[in-house]
Amino acid sequence: MAINVIPKDVGILPDTELDLEEIDQDQSEQLAQPAEIIAITLPDSVCGDRLDKVLSKLVPQYSRSRIQQWIEDGHVQVDGKPSKIKTTMLGGELIQIIPQSSPDENSFTPEDIPLNIIFEDDAIIILNKPAGLVVHPGAGNWSGTLLNALLFHRPALAQVPRAGIVHRLDKDTSGLMVVAKTLTAQTELVRQLQARTVRREYAAMVWGTPISTGTVDAAMARHSRDRLKMAVSFSILAKPAITHYQRLATGMLERFPVSLVACRLETGRTHQIRVHMQSLGFPLVGDTLYGKQHLARFFPRQALQARRLGLIHPVSGEDMEWSIPLEADFVALLEQAGMPSQ
């Protein structure tokens, strides 16, 4: 077998991870080499194997799903002609692969996106993420994310995994986040998150009237039928999830009762507050994924804001805490429901 690489004039672009908790193998493969034309003369030992299987073994730096896509798109030729994924190889064929860049390879590009920074020193950044801003590049959002903004704000963050991001907020959830500026700080903050010592409190408006205080201790996993959703689960794959909540005020949106609740996270699972409150029968106002779609007219997003954040400074050891007022749209929602401003 012979493998020849014919360089093309294309820059080196890093790959990235889609999700901080559930990394898809195909999306996180490392592409540390430039795109090239790869020529391979197949050995006789592959006789009887299908094309995509053969190539996934011979060029393991690319995932099988990516190779399959290239075959379908005509970027792989067998003896000078396009082929099919399931074509059986006999051995001796000349294969030419023209690697194609994917959107995720451009995700770590600095972009001049304004950041509302609450605090910054040599180790950490505390920022107030607006609703509508995606935290990390992923399918459908390969640019215009918080990560892109951070790389523009501090180019040195390119040397820190995920540009220093250690936890996430949903796209339409606003509020406080911490970002590490060094690998040492990031490692310590991740340790604190794992130890559940980071204090995170959210304001949420829910449909209905929950009891004054309570705790939801219900493990969560990916929804069995809808991969966009999470769910309370008894599966062996489910991860522990604990939310403490307190009802702060009640009101009405037209004829529907609503409540303002403070939610304190003990764990930080994807969509945790949204899923836990829905599991009690009190979905968030504006949450069309888990809540009442026919009542979406009252608020254009889930009514959820990370209002308080407390942690031990990863360098000084000082116990620090930050809090922010509710966003203007949230305040307007409170007024509409007849609740006092918080």
pLDDT given for residue 106 in this prediction: 59
Question: What are the residue ranges spanned by the domains of the chain?
Answer: 2-104, 107-190, 196-342
Tokens of 264: 């304190």
Nearest to 326 by CA among 172, 199, 202: 202
Can you tell me the distance from the alpha carbon of 134 to that of 280, in angstroms, rounded to the nearest whole number? 28
- Residue 121 is among the residues annotated as catalytic for this protein: no
Question: 319-323 and 213-217 as β-strands: parallel, antiparallel, unpaired?
Answer: unpaired
10 Å CB burial of residue 26 (0-12, 13-18, 19+) is middle
Whether 20 shows a pLDDT value over 80: the answer reads no
Name residue, tokens 């403490």: 244
- Indicate the DSSP class of residue 126: E
- Indicate the DSSP class of residue 165: B
pLDDT given for residue 228 in this prediction: 86
CATH class held by domain 2-104? alpha beta
Give residue-wise pLDDT tens across range 228-240. 899 999 999 899 9
Whether 38 shows a pLDDT value over 70: the answer reads yes
pLDDT given for residue 152 in this prediction: 96
pLDDT given for residue 1 in this prediction: 59
Architecture of the 107-190 domain: 2-Layer Sandwich (3.30)
Give residue 262's pLDDT band: very low, low, confident or very high (50, 70, 90).
Answer: very high
User: Which residues does 152 contact at the CB level (< 8 Å), separation at least 6?
Assistant: 110, 111, 112, 113
Give residue-wise pLDDT tens across range 53-91. 999 889 887 888 889 989 999 999 999 999 999 999 999
What percentage of the chain reaches a pLDDT higher than 70? 87
pLDDT given for residue 140 in this prediction: 74
Q: Given the residues 52, 104, 170, 287, select the one marked as catalytic.
A: 170
10 Å CB burial of residue 153 (0-12, 13-18, 19+) is buried
Highest mean pLDDT among 8-22, 28-42, 247-261: 247-261
Q: Hey, what CATH topology would domain 196-342 get?
A: Pseudouridine synthase (3.30.2350)
Mean per-residue pLDDT, 267-274: 95
pLDDT given for residue 217 in this prediction: 97
* More confident position, 22 or 241: 241
Give residue-wise pLDDT tens across range 288-342. 999 988 888 899 999 999 999 999 999 999 999 999 999 999 999 999 999 987 7
Can you tell me the distance from the alpha carbon of 250 to that of 263, in angstroms, rounded to the nearest whole number? 15
Intrachain domains 2-104 and 107-190 with the same fold? no
- Give the orientation angle of helix 64-72 with respect to helix 51-58, to 10 degrees: 130
| Secondary structure (DSSP) of 6-39 | EE-S--------S-SSS--TTTS----S--EEEE
Can you tell me the distance from the alpha carbon of 273 to that of 218, in angstroms, rounded to the nearest whole number? 11
Mean per-residue pLDDT, 177-206: 95
Give start and end residues of each alpha helix (H) in the chain: 51-58, 64-72, 146-153, 183-194, 272-279, 328-336
Instruction: Decide: 126 and 132 in contact? Cβ < 8 Å.
Output: no
Q: pTM of the prediction?
A: 0.72
